[in-house]
Amino acid sequence: MIAVDFISEFSTNHIPEPNTSLDELLQQIETHNITLALTASRRGLIYLFNGEAVAETLQVTSQHPRLLPVGILNPRQYVNWREDLQMAVQGGAVAIRFAPGTQSWSADSLLFAKMVEGVAQTSLPIIVDFNGLGGEAPSWIHKVAATADRYHVPVVMNEVSYSYMGELLAVMHDYPGTYAAIRWLCLADSLETFKSEGLIDRLLFGSNAPRYSARSPLYQVLMAKISDEDKQAILAGNAISLLKLDPAHLPAAPRQINPVPDIPKKPIIDTHAHVTGFSLPQPNDTFDRTTVSEMAERFNVEITVVSSYHAINYDLVVGNAATAALLDRHPNLRGYVVGDARDIPTSVAQMENYFQDPRFVGVKLYCPFGGPMALPRMQDLLDEVAKFGRPTLIHMDNSPYPGLRQACLRNPNLVIIKAHGDDADGARQIQDLPNVYFEFCSSGIKPGPIRRVIDILGPERVLFGTDAQLFSPWFEYAAYQDAIKTEREAELIFRANPRRIFNLGID
């Protein structure tokens, strides 16, 4: 199999957080055996002068045969846009990219439509980024597709959030010239869903490297329950067809990727997962049915600690009971008791009840509903949690550290796990608190923050989490794999640390 990365970008600076330098992009291409990568200068994806970005893209790609140039247009600039398009086309650009979120313009823009009409004369596809759009993204999926369809221009939707996958599926059914890059379509079984919808021929491998690792979407494809033919179509075939390239005479020699992901050789432990279903296109997960156990078995995850999203989002008592029922059916699962600072008496009663069952090994709290870490009621609940001596996984608010410090100083023996991690600045704020751990599951998981936190806190205070059923163990593991440098770090993060802080009932 070969891989063509349809979405990448580069900058000439070397700011490490995140590292988007050309050197980092080239290293990812080398590390993951990418045959070709479509790329564009980041200066054109933000506010800087567009003509300079196109020129920089053409100059850089001319020196690296595996990089294919992508031109950029920006409706905010207007002046010289036709010249920028002409320069890109004459320089060998294979697509034209738009970034309304970071360039700050609207999909309703008449000028965007005029630019798409101009691109139509070149027979090139367009790429439209959806990052930075916020709540406007769902309606823009349809608007962008309709505009491209009006001018018979193929459009690649890039960084459409998994939250809007249902809308994307509907749009792709109605607009046959609409394609999607898979980086943010990272729900577990999402590729299988596209297959069942008959849309596998319009998915493109796109990693957004080097901002993100190419390994996560690569593993997503290779572990999917689809045929090898479909996997190769996503990884390269669909891109080669869309770009009208000759498969026998690619711009650079094909490089074979390893078709088998690096599944952990020793069993690992997942400290962050969910049961009882989300309102997303995941038909195999419902209130009383979960794919978490099966995914864990496929990827050598020995134990997965789960909490009920129903308990978090709707009914504490019913959701925790559903977790208990699923523990009865799946021996490789352990449970968090979900608590809520809005109802401390019921939370305490739930802990008193379920901690009689050794399969319940911790507490899960959720600040977006229960309130920020610094609220008195959250502090009071954590005082109660500390009495049970169980680790607590907390989805925190956006500014949690003063409240987190207060809770840790009040309860120095309470292990608190910051769900979804943070970067270096966050790690420094709790560096002196030995009872605080980070895990990093996320749809936007990146190796860089994991590495920087390991360097600050040490591998002894980092845990592995996946957010399954939302995401698969292999998607999250791939970013950890890129971040971890030594076998000792891997042993601590994937096995020793969770065994030390949880009583998992395993040897």
Q: Read off the pLDDT of residues 165-206 as tens digits, 9 standing for 90 and up.
A: 999 999 999 999 999 999 999 999 999 999 999 999 999 999
What are the pLDDT digits (tens) for 26-42?
999 999 999 999 999 99
Measured distance CA(269)–CA(492) in Å, rounded: 11
- In tens, the pLDDT along 209-240 reads 999 999 999 999 999 999 999 999 999 999 99
Q: If pLDDT is split at 50, 70 and 90, which confidence band does 283 have?
A: confident
Nearest CA-CA partner of 421 in 403, 406, 442: 442
**For position 287, what pLDDT does the model report?**
92
pLDDT (0 to 100) of residue 137: 81
- Measured between alpha carbons, how far is residue 257 from residues 1, 54, 173, 223, 239 in Å? 6, 30, 31, 14, 16
H-type helices in 104-189, by residue range? 110-120, 137-150, 165-174
User: How far is it, in rounded angstroms, from Cα 427 to Cα 422?
Assistant: 7
Q: What is residue 290's predicted lDDT score, i.e. its pLDDT? A: 96
Q: Return the sign of the alpha-carbon dihedral for residues 101, 103, 105, 106.
A: negative
Q: What is the mean pLDDT of residues 310-333?
A: 97
* The pLDDT value given to residue 320: 98
**CB distance 183 to 160 below 8 Å:** no
Cβ burial of 106 (10 Å; 0-12, 13-18, 19+) is: middle
Name the 3-class secondary structure at 271.
Answer: strand
Give the count of beta carbons closer than 10 Å to the beta carbon of residue 283: 11
Nearest to 99 by CA among 148, 146, 45, 141: 45
- Tokens standing for residue 3: 């891989």
> Residues 459-472: pLDDT tens digits?
999 999 999 999 99
Q: What is the pLDDT of residue 132?
A: 80
* Lowest-confidence pick of 26-30, 50-54, 289-293, 300-304: 50-54
**Average of per-residue pLDDT across 18-26:** 90
pLDDT one-digit tens code per residue, 39-84: 999 988 886 788 999 999 999 999 999 999 999 999 988 889 999 9
Neighbours of 321 (CB within 10 A): 17
Residue pLDDT, tens place only, 122-150: 999 999 999 887 778 888 999 999 999 99
Q: What is the mean pLDDT of the chain?
A: 95
> What are the chain's domains?
4-242 (3.20.20.140), 268-501 (3.20.20.140)
pLDDT in tens, 391-400: 999 999 999 9
Per mean pLDDT, which range of 106-115, 117-126, 436-445, 492-501 is the poorest?
106-115
Q: Using one digit for the tens of pLDDT, what is the confidence trace for 248-280?
A: 999 999 999 999 999 999 999 999 999 998 888
Q: Give the pLDDT of residue 12.
A: 82
Q: What whole-number distance in Å separates Cα of residue 257 and Cα of residue 222? A: 10
Give kind and range of the element (H or E) at residue 160: none
Token representation of residue 371: 């309130």
Are 310 and 322 in contact by the 8 Å Cβ rule? The answer is yes
